[in-house]
Chains A and B, each alone.
Chain A
């Protein structure tokens, strides 16, 4: 059975019946120095999706994510984001080195300025979700790279966002740590029914995590292919070692190499 399906435009899918959480229409971005980071892109993210942007470094994936978060303004086109709260996980853990893990995680709640009587409960819940309960009192420098990333994810989850944007969060980690974090991330996202827009250049990671993958071309970034992944959740370690996983990985790699002009 084929793992990858290209969404058929003639077939009415749930995509066309529900409003997308995020939609980009003809969005492009040229940086002040003249580099075209993003060719005009159309993109919709639907509720409950785990959508991965897969492409080589410098293809504008991060730019796209920052546009969705409102950290950048598009040069052309329109970005619409109907998600209420957004969580953002950067490439680096981006923690305040002077603050304890708990205080780092609490930051979004404090910045939002709304009065809440359950701040500490929310912080505890976010820490528990990423398995950092016992490290709440540590400083970032006392944690391993993987644990710092967990703290960063807890911070993104703490104000209970509906949309999570993740910019190659595990790119700097070793493969074993990365696999564990991927699995834990999926569990959290399922439990919280999060919509996720995830950026990576790892094909394995894309296959393991995603419900849909957008393959992007090298700079300036264009969307080469829009592929649905049929493997049901929850996905465990057995999926990683399955024939379906290998098959899907191979198919995805093919799309990627074709799109970047065949050879290297």
Chain B
């Protein structure tokens, strides 16, 4: 049963994807849709192969920004969460500002940051970090607080210090929530990187995938636009899968969310 379910997990979505591409290809041919409106999947694949150097170069630039922003978001988010759980007062006074960061659209802040920060790469990383950091803060804070009260009593009974409680009890308890936050943040870091690139409009050597999309749009090179889009989506999925894998690797022995996957 589980083998069957496991096979279904891979084949079912793959089948849907193939079906979608076939219908797309068929419709484009049948309706004779011009390539500058909607290219067929085969044309997109062709663009992907022909423009691979250009596109892969851009992908690398975008990926660098996204990964840097993601790492920064995780580090800063976890630090903020550690500060928040030290006292309710700290959390009450600082948390609204974390929310403020979350609800302000990056589109609105990005121009300012690009003006303030000379280094364009760094400016883009900062923008993407702002987009990605909130789920790490809120999930990790929630996780660090979701501690079995009985275990807290036990630690108190043996006169454990603040540091021992944090490292031996709060951190392991927080891991499932933390990984949930990482999953969301990985996608947001990529979105943040692409959106910031759009706003910055960086060109030349520093042009990421967003730049390729912009230029392809201007040139009505729609197959390349789709190819760039495809690469962004693929990167997002791969980042997400990396997070799922990481989460499974560290939780599979004990947490309910990953136990069924092991059995």
Residues of A at the B interface (CB closer than 8 Å) are: 66, 69-71, 86, 88, 90-92, 94, 96-99, 107-108, 110-112, 139-141
B157–A98 touching, CB < 8 Å: no
Residues of B within 8 A of A97 (CB): 254-255
B164–A141 touching, CB < 8 Å: no
Residues of B within 8 A of A71 (CB): 153, 156-157
| Total interface residues in chain B, CB < 8 Å | 20
How far is the CB of A229 from the nearest CB of chain B, in Å? 28
With A90-B154, A96-B151, A97-B255 already in contact, 11 other A-B pairs whose C-beta atoms are closer than 8 Å = A70-B157, A71-B156, A94-B151, A94-B153, A96-B169, A98-B172, A98-B254, A98-B255, A107-B158, A110-B168, A111-B158
User: Quick check: is B160 within 8 A (CB to CB) of the other chain?
Assistant: yes
How far is the CB of B214 from the nearest CB of chain A, in Å? 47
How far is the CB of B155 from the nearest CB of chain A, in Å? 7
Residues of A within 8 A of B150 (CB): 90-92, 94
Shortest beta-carbon contacts, A-B, top 4: A94-B150, A111-B158, A97-B254, A98-B254
Residues of A within 8 A of B159 (CB): 111-112
- With A and B bound together, what is the CA distance between A70 and B159 in angstroms? 11
Nearest-neighbor residue (CB-CB) of A66 within chain B = B153
B259–A94 touching, CB < 8 Å: no
Residues of B within 8 A of A110 (CB): 168
How far is the CB of A65 from the nearest CB of chain B, in Å? 11
How far is the CB of B192 from the nearest CB of chain A, in Å? 32
**CB neighbors of A among B152-205 (8 A):** 153-160, 164, 168-169, 172, 175
B255–A86 touching, CB < 8 Å: no
B160–A94 touching, CB < 8 Å: no
B253–A88 touching, CB < 8 Å: no
B148–A94 touching, CB < 8 Å: yes
Nearest-neighbor residue (CB-CB) of A93 within chain B = B150
A90–B153 touching, CB < 8 Å: yes
How far is the CB of B117 from the nearest CB of chain A, in Å? 41
How far is the CB of B146 from the nearest CB of chain A, in Å? 12
How far is the CB of B172 from the nearest CB of chain A, in Å? 5
- With A and B bound together, what is the CA distance between A107 and B157 in angstroms? 12
Residues of B within 8 A of A70 (CB): 157
A108–B156 touching, CB < 8 Å: no
30 contacting pairs across A/B (C-beta < 8 A): A69-B157, A71-B153, A71-B156, A86-B157, A88-B153, A90-B150, A91-B150, A92-B150, A94-B151, A94-B153, A96-B151, A96-B172, A97-B254, A98-B172, A98-B253, A98-B255, A107-B154, A107-B158, A110-B168, A111-B155, A111-B158, A111-B159, A111-B160, A111-B168, A112-B158, A112-B159, A139-B253, A139-B254, A140-B254, A141-B254
B157–A94 touching, CB < 8 Å: no
